[in-house]
Amino acid sequence: MNKKSPVAVFDSGIGGLTVAKRLNQILPGEKIIYFGDTARVPYGTKSRDTIKQYALQIAGFLIRFKPKLIVIACHSVSSLGKAFLEKKFPDYTFIDVIGPSVEEATEKTKNKKIGIIGTPATISSGMYPEMIERIDSGIKVYQKPCPLLVPLVEEGWFDNDVTRSIVKYYIQGVLDKQIDTLILGCTHYPLLKKAIRKITGLAVHLVDASDATSVKVKDFLVVNGLLNTKKAKTPVIYFSDVSEYRNQVMHRFWNKMDFLIKKIDTGEL
C-alpha cells in the first residue's frame, strides 16, 4: 500500500455512508471505496457465524483494491470485534466504529454518566458497556434500544414533530439519569443530530461515530506517513443490491456530494 491506495469502508447497508461521507470531507486527498451489503441487510438478526462469514467475504473483496486500511462501519460486525478479521488478514489494519466512540465518550464525560442509544442488536450485544468498563470501571452506563430511528432516517424524516416525539420517547429515560455524554450507537443516527440536540440540550455531549472514527483514521494515516493531500478521485460506492428506493436513500445520506454507484452480486465476493 502507498499514499495512492484508497481508504475502504463497509457496512451491512447504507448507514455507513455517514462515515464514508465524513471521511471524504476531512480527508479530501483520499479516495474512498465503500461497500454496502444491501442484499443481505439487516445483519442484526443474523447468527454470529453468518455475520463473520459476510464480513470475511466483504473484506476479501475490498482487499482487491489494496487499501491503506479498512473501516468497519457496521455496529453488528464491530460488536463481534475486529480480531477475527485481523487474524484472517494480518497485513491490513481494521478500525471499527465502537472503539473510537468509546474513547471519545470516556474522555468527554465529567460526571461519569454515559448514555447509549442504538439498534436492539447493538444494545443487546453489551459491547459498549464492556469496553467502557475496561477503560473506567467508575463510569455508569445507561442504554436504550431505538428500533424506530433507522426507518425514520431512511424515510428522510430527520427533524420534524414526529421524529422529535419518537426521539424524546426513547431518550428521556436516559436523560433522567443526568448523563452528560450520549453515544449515537448507529451510523444512521448522525442524520438525526439536529432533532436529538433539541431534546438533549447543549449540556449533553453527543458522540457521533462518523466523527470519532474519521479522526481515528486520519491519525492512523498521519502517523504512518500515508496521508494523501492531493485532490482525490470521486468516491466509489459498491452495493450488493440497488433498488430505486435504496438509490433515493443513498442520495439522502450523501446529500449533494458526487459519487459513483456500482453493483456487485454477493456471489462475486
Give catalytic residues, as residue numbers: 74, 186
Cα dist from 36 to 10, 168, 196, whole Å = 6, 30, 26
Separation of alpha carbons 262 and 34, rounded Å:
10
Q: How far is CA 160 from the centre of its chain?
A: 24
Q: What are phi and psi of 96, to 5 degrees?
A: -100, 180
Separation of alpha carbons 187 and 75, rounded Å:
8
146 torsion bin: left (phi>0), alpha (psi -120 to 50), beta (else): beta
Look up residue 47 and give its three cell numbers: 447468527
